[in-house]
Amino acid sequence: MLPRRLIVLTLSALTALAAAPLPVAKPETVGMSSVRLGRIATALKADIDHGLLPGAVVAVVRRGKLVYYEAYGYVDKASGAAMPLDAIFTVASMTKPMTASGALMLFEDGRILLNDPVGKYLPQIDNVAVATASGTEPVVRKPTLQDLMRHTAGFTYGNRGTSPLYKNYPQSSGDVADTISSASFLAKLGSLPLFYQPGTHWDYSFGMDLLGLTVESVTGKTLGAYLRERLFGPLGMVDTGFTVPAGKAARFARPLPADPQTGKPQAFRDPTKPWQFDCGGGCAFSTAMDYARFAEMLRNRGKFENTQYLGRKTVEYMTSDQLGPEVNIDKLREFPNMNGYGFGLSVAVRRGGGVSGIMGTAGDFDWGGANGTYFWVDPKEELTVVFMAAAPGELRVRYRQLMTALVLQAIAD
């Protein structure tokens, strides 16, 4: 087993991290236990030793101070290359909160309204109908931008079911962006009915991909260019984007050759290869520190390093539960760690202290990516956590629960 590159922050580690891109503090100064945080390393090292995980990077920030920042294992186990702190990961659906934040900036600019129908910006899907057992029926109301952000527009992913309609739907964000143009994608969705009447069901969906294309329609820029201008560049997210430059490819984290649970091969897409379009639902790459800066901006209600990126009320709205009693949330409950959660604009939002099978605080919010990444923010505990791993199998659900427990048990105030 490779030694850790960085121990839990102690006084000796503070000097080594003086140049870290977030303020650094000893855990005890912000109400956390160094000893208890050390349990993260014990658990992850054991999994790496047992071949369950190639490696990981973990960042924990409390009260604006970086108190834990570690790399474990391998960025590429096949070659034996050690995991660097600045490893670049496929963040998959953790792209969604960044896309939503970019769209909310346009909302604050007065260029879009959340109640606007999607078809106002994407006319290819303005005349959708709703599937029924016997055919189709008209929509009661057209899907809105808010519906896209909270996954209530009536769309879904084709890989979430086996009915003929599911089989006709595009499969996933990455699959679409890798194989067809945005115009072909919109034409395909426009030719198919919705699964539900807008606003009646939560179902994980192409909502953020359509939101990203809405951003492109409004700004006349690619989603990547727009987010670099408004979010990535200003926030100092130096390794975040929709492709990985060739000069950084050695830092790209690769999964194990085979899924440790099923034995099935695990391939990865060449991160230097451009997409057909920048899919807002799942096509970005990032590092633990880049994403921690973004998540800290959300935790601090839109402000980071004295710059207000989003208004306080906008972030409060974004991270509030948007699912009223009229919305069927059975599909949200299919995610094992989502019992007790509602959903905001791109993030799951905890409704209370109990009910869920994981610890947490009412109002905390989170989301993960299909390739093994996860983040959550607990505003009341002033806590931000980013977990990055190249673990695309079902095992990723375990780490979402494990990391929550390991970090929250270390709070000592």
Domain 11-91+222-408 fold is Beta-lactamase (3.40.710)
- Please check the confidence at residue 381 and state whether its pLDDT lies above 70: yes
**Across 252-267, average pLDDT:** 93
Taking the C-alpha atoms of residue 187 and residue 309, their distance in angstroms, rounded to an integer, is 34
Q: Model confidence over 77-130: pLDDT tens digits?
A: 999 999 999 999 999 999 999 999 999 999 999 999 999 999 999 999 999 999
Model pLDDT, residue 14: 41
pLDDT of residue 17: 42
pLDDT confidence of residue 13: 43
How many whole angstroms separate alpha carbon 69 and alpha carbon 385? 10
List pLDDT tens digits, range 113-123: 999 999 999 99
- For domain 101-219, is the CATH number 1.10.150? no
- pLDDT tens profile 182-234: 999 999 999 999 999 999 999 999 999 999 999 999 999 999 999 999 999 99
Please, what is the angle between helix 207-219 and helix 95-108, to 10°? 40
List where CATH 3.40.710.10 sits in the chain: 11-91+222-408
Q: Judge whether residue 3 has pLDDT over 90.
A: no
Residue 292: C-alpha distances to residues 298, 368, 370, 377 (Å)? 10, 14, 19, 10
Q: Range(s) for CATH 1.20.58 in the chain?
A: 101-219
Quote the CA–CA distance of 125 and 60 in Å, as a whole number: 41
pLDDT > 70 in the chain, percent:
95
Split at pLDDT 50, 70, 90, the class of 20 is low
- Single out the residue of 282, 404, 409 nearest to residue 340, CA to CA: 404
pLDDT of amino acid 9? 46
